[in-house]
Structure 1
Amino acid sequence: MKCFLALFISILFLYPGYGKAQDETKVDSSKVRKIRIDPQTAKGLSAAKLFEEVKFIPLETTKESLFGNISKMEVLQDRFVIYDIDTRSVFIFSKDGHYINKITNKDVSKINKNSIIVTFQIAKVDTSTFIDIQSRDIIYRFNKAGVFQKSIKPDIFYNALKINNTSIVQNFSTDNKNIYEFAISKGGEIKKYFPFTYKRYEENDYIGLGPRFYANSEGDKFLFHLYYSPDLFEITEDGVSLKYQIILPTDISLPSGFLTDPQYKFKQQSYLAANKNTVYGLSGCYTFGNYLFINLTRWTQQHNIKKNLVYNLKTNELISIQDIGPDETSHFLPINDSTIGGSFLNLGFLCADKEKLYTSMSAVSIAKFGDMNRQHANDFPPALTAYLKNNEEFKNPVVIALKPLKN
C-alpha cells in the first residue's frame, strides 16, 4: 500500500486559483436504478448467445518481446500497449500480435538515472497518440512506436478524461488538505466531487487500487465507482448522477460501519481475508448496449464463487462470465481461464474499447485448453494452432478479444 501511496502523491497536482471552484457538488440521485442481484443465481450461456465474435491473438514471442504477465493493457486503433511489472517494461504489439517495440527501465534511466517504470498512460494530443511514462513530477513521452520524444512537466489537465470540451480531472485539490476524487471543468467552472484525505492510506489498511473510470461504448459518458461501494455513478459533461445501486444479499455485503467503526480500524484486510466471499467493491464496469459488465471484488479465488457478471438491463437476466461455455463462436475454446484458477477470477477483463472487451490467457492455460479440446483442433484459428505447436519453453500470453452482441 505504501507503493500506491507514493504513486498517488506523485500524481496529485494542486490547482491554486484556477477558475471558479465551488464546494463539493451535489450528486443527482433522483433517477437511480436499483439492481438486486444474487451472484450465485447467475447462469452460464454458450459464447454465441453473448458474443458476436471471439478472437484469440497470440502475442509474438522473441528474445526481445518475451515478458511475464499483463499488468496493464490499453488498446489503440492499431496496437496493444502492455505493461509487465515483472520486467518493468512497456511492450507494444500490433492488433495481430506482432511485436513492434518495448520501453524498458534502461531506456528511461538513460534520460534520468533515478527513474523507473511503474505504469504508463496513453495521451492524445490533437491527432497524435503518445505513451507517457511518469516518474515523480516528470513525464517521459514516447510515440506509439516506442520512440522517445521529450520530457514534459504535467500541467493542470494532465491525465484528465475528456468529453468533448469538458475535462474530468482526477485527484483534484486546491491545497494540501482538501482532495476530491475528481472535478469536472467546463467553461472555466469547476465542480468538485467526493472529498477525501490521502491520509486514508495511512490511517487504515485501506485497499484502493485499480481504475475506477470506465468509458461507455459511445465515448460520451463514464461510469465511476468509489472504493468499498456497490454504487455506480454516471459522469457526463454536465455533472454526476447515481446511475445504478447494486443491492447484494446481506451475507456477502460489507457490515455497517466498515469504513467508520473503530473496531475495523487496521483490521479491514484481516476481516476480508476471514470472510472471503464478502463483496467489498467493484471493478471492470463496462456497458455495451443493454449489457452491464461488472466484476464483484472478493477475496476468494474459487471458481464456484461467481464474481464476473453481466446484467441485462432490458430483461434483468444475470449471466456468469465464469460459466460461459465454448462453442463455434469461440472456436470451441473457453473464453477465460477461470475454470483452472487463472487470472480472470481475480482481474476480470483487462480493458475495453468501443467495440470489444479484452482478457488474456497464459501459455500454460491455453495449452491445457488446447489439449482438453483437441477433438476440435481443426476449428482453432490458424495463428493459435501455430502457437500451440510451438514447443518453446516460455511463450507470451494470448490476448482474447470479445465483441458483445448488439441487444
Structure 2
Amino acid sequence: MLSTQAKHPYILLMRHLFPLTGIVLLCCAALTLHAQERVLRIDPNTARGGTSSKVYEDVQYIPLETTKESLFGKINTMEVTEKYFIISDETTNAILIFEKNGKFHAKMAGGKMAQYGWPGSIGGMTVDREKNTIVYYQFNKSLRIICDFDGKELKREKLDSKYIIAYNTRFKDGKVLSHNFVSRDKKDTIMHEFEVYKDTIRTNQFLPIHLHKALISTDFFYSQGIVQLTPTNSKEYVYYNKVYSDVIHRISSDTATVAFKVVYPMSMTLPPGFGTDTTLDNKRIEFLQKNKNTIYGAGYITDVKNILLFRLLSYDMWNDTNNSFAYNLQSNTLFCMEKITSDSSTYFLPVATSTGWSRGGFHCVQDDYCYVSHPSNVMFNAYEANKAARKVVYPPALQQYFSKGKSSDNPVIVMFKFKDKF
C-alpha cells in the first residue's frame, strides 16, 4: 500500500520536476560559463602601429648598475616593490636586487650553473610585500627558500608537492600559484598543472591531466614563453594559454575559468586536435618547422587598465620579430608593439619592441606601469643610430649610462604607461 505522502499529486509532480529542474539549472550554469568566455579575433597582419607620443603617457629608462658581482644575463622574471627591482636570471642562476634608481643592492646565488634538473637551480620566485621577503623554489626539490631584501637567507621549507616546480606568482591574498611541468607517464594517474599554496600547505589544484595522455617532452621544444606567469595589475589572477591550445584561462587562488577563446586567421591556425592527438607524437615540431607562420600559443599574458598584453609564438616569430601585442578590450583594436615607433618623447630609443628580448616578454605590471627590459647592446645600437641621424638630449641617468657604459653592461629596464585612449 502506498503511503499518503506518495499518493499526493503535488508530491508526485515534484518528483518528476526536480530532475528536470536540475537539468535546467545545469544547462543555465553551462550557458553562463560559456557567456563569460570572450572570443578574441587576432590577425597579426592587420595589427596597428603609431608613435610613442600618441600611445604612451610616460616612459622611463633605468640602467642597472654593472659590477663584477651584479653582472647577469637577462631578466627571466621580475618583481617591483616600493624600493627595489627584484630579478631572477636563469643564466647565472641568481636573484639580484637593485634599487629603483638602478643601483645594485644584493644578490642570492642558487648554484654553479642553471641547468634544468640540477638540484640548486632556481625554479620560481615570488615576493611577499607585507613581510618584505623573497621566496624562491629550487627546481626538482620542492624546496621553498625565504630571504630578506638584503639577500640573507631566513628559512628553508619542504613543499607538499610531487611536481617539478617551474613558475610561480603570488596573489594579492598572499597565496602562491605554482605552474608545474607535467610530462607523459605510462601510469593512468591524474595530476594537475597548477597548485595553490598558503605558505607550504597546498590549498587548491587546477587543470587536471591524465599522465598517459600528457604531451611528451620533445613536443615542448618551442613552448618557452607559453607557461610564463606574468603578474597582472590587480595581482588577483594570472592568464595561462596551454601550448597548442586556443583557450586562455584566468586563474586565481580559488578558481580557474576560461577567459578567452582566441581565433587566428585560418592560415595561422593549428589543425584540430593538434595538442591531444597521440598519433602526432614526435611530429608536432616538424609540422611547426614546415608551417612557419602557424601560431601555437600566446605567452607572457598580462593586463593593465583595459589592455591585454601578450606575445604570439610561431616558428617565424621565434626570432623576436613582430610578436608582441596590445589588445584594447574596449575597442577590440589590436596594436603590434613593434609598430609603435619611438620619437622625441622617448629619445628615439626602443620602448616595448621585442627585438633583443631573447624570447622574453612583459616582465610585470605594477601601478598601471608595464615593465620590459633591453640588453645594453640594443640600447647602444640605438644610441649610435641617433648620433648619426639627429641630436638628442638625454636625461642625466641615460647620459651617464651612454658616456660611461658599454654594450656588454647589464640590461636597461623600461617602464611605460599607456594613455587612457589610444
TM-score class, shorter: 0.7 to 0.9
- Name 1:405's counterpart in structure 2: 419
- Opposite residue 99 of structure 2, the aligned amino acid is S
Give the deviation of 1:57 after TM superposition: 0.8
Larger deviation: 261-270 or 31-40? 261-270
Q: Verify: 1:225 aligned to 2:229, yes or no.
A: no
- Name 1:4's counterpart in structure 2: none
Q: Verify: 1:276 aligned to 2:289, yes or no.
A: no
Consecutive unaligned residues in structure 1, runs of 5 or more: 1-24, 109-113
Q: How does 1:78-227 map to 2 (within 5 A)?
A: 78-105=83-110, 115-124=119-128, 126-135=130-139, 136-155=141-160, 161-162=170-171, 164=173, 170-171=179-180, 177-182=189-194, 192-198=205-211, 200-202=214-216, 205-207=219-221, 208-210=223-225, 211-227=227-243
Give aligned pairs, total.
Answer: 373
- Name 2:408's counterpart in structure 1: 394
Q: Verify: 1:288 aligned to 2:304, yes or no.
A: yes
> How far apart in 1 are the matches of 2:176 and 2:138?
20
Cα gap change, 1:256 to 1:131, in 2 (>3 Å): same
- Name 1:241's counterpart in structure 2: 257
Alpha-carbon contact 1:213-1:225 (below 8 Å) kept: no
Give the deviation of 1:60 after TM superposition: 0.5
Larger deviation: 138-147 or 94-103? 138-147
- Opposite residue 194 of structure 1, the aligned amino acid is L
> How far apart in 2 are the matches of 1:140 and 1:166?
16
Match of 1:312 among 328, 331, 338: 328
> How far apart in 1 are the matches of 2:55 and 2:149?
33
Aligned-partner SS, 1:69: coil
**TM score, norm. by length of structure 2:** 0.76
Consecutive unaligned residues in structure 2, runs of 5 or more: 1-28
Q: Verify: 1:362 aligned to 2:375, yes or no.
A: yes
Cα gap change, 1:323 to 1:129, in 2 (>3 Å): same
Alpha-carbon contact 2:169-2:229 (below 8 Å) kept: no
Aligned-partner SS, 1:132: strand
Give the deviation of 1:85 after TM superposition: 2.6
> How far apart in 1 are the matches of 2:76 and 2:275?
28
- Name 1:384's counterpart in structure 2: 398
Cα gap change, 1:100 to 1:388, in 2 (>3 Å): same
Cα gap change, 1:100 to 1:278, in 2 (>3 Å): same
Q: How does 1:39-58 map to 2 (within 5 A)?
A: 39-58=44-63
Alpha-carbon contact 1:40-1:306 (below 8 Å) kept: no
- Opposite residue 413 of structure 2, the aligned amino acid is V
Q: Residue deviations 1:199-255, cap 9 Å, x none?
A: 635475235544454443223343332222232223456634322211100111111
Give the deviation of 1:329 after TM superposition: 2.9
> How far apart in 2 are the matches of 1:206 and 1:403?
34
Match of 2:67 among 41, 62, 71: 62
Larger deviation: 99-108 or 351-360? 99-108
Aligned-partner SS, 2:71: coil
Alpha-carbon contact 2:76-2:360 (below 8 Å) kept: no
Alpha-carbon contact 2:361-2:372 (below 8 Å) kept: yes
Give the deviation of 1:76 after TM superposition: 2.7
Cα gap change, 1:76 to 1:201, in 2 (>3 Å): farther
Q: Residue deviations 1:269-323, cap 9 Å, x none?
A: 2221222211101112122222111211122248896321111112222111011
- Name 2:39's counterpart in structure 1: 34
Q: How does 1:333-372 map to 2 (within 5 A)?
A: 333-336=349-352, 338=354, 341-343=355-357, 346-372=359-385
Give the deviation of 1:86 after TM superposition: 2.7
Alpha-carbon contact 1:331-1:381 (below 8 Å) kept: no
- Opposite residue 128 of structure 2, the aligned amino acid is K
Give the deviation of 1:196 after TM superposition: 1.0
CA RMSD of aligned residues (A): 3.6
Alpha-carbon contact 1:29-1:243 (below 8 Å) kept: no
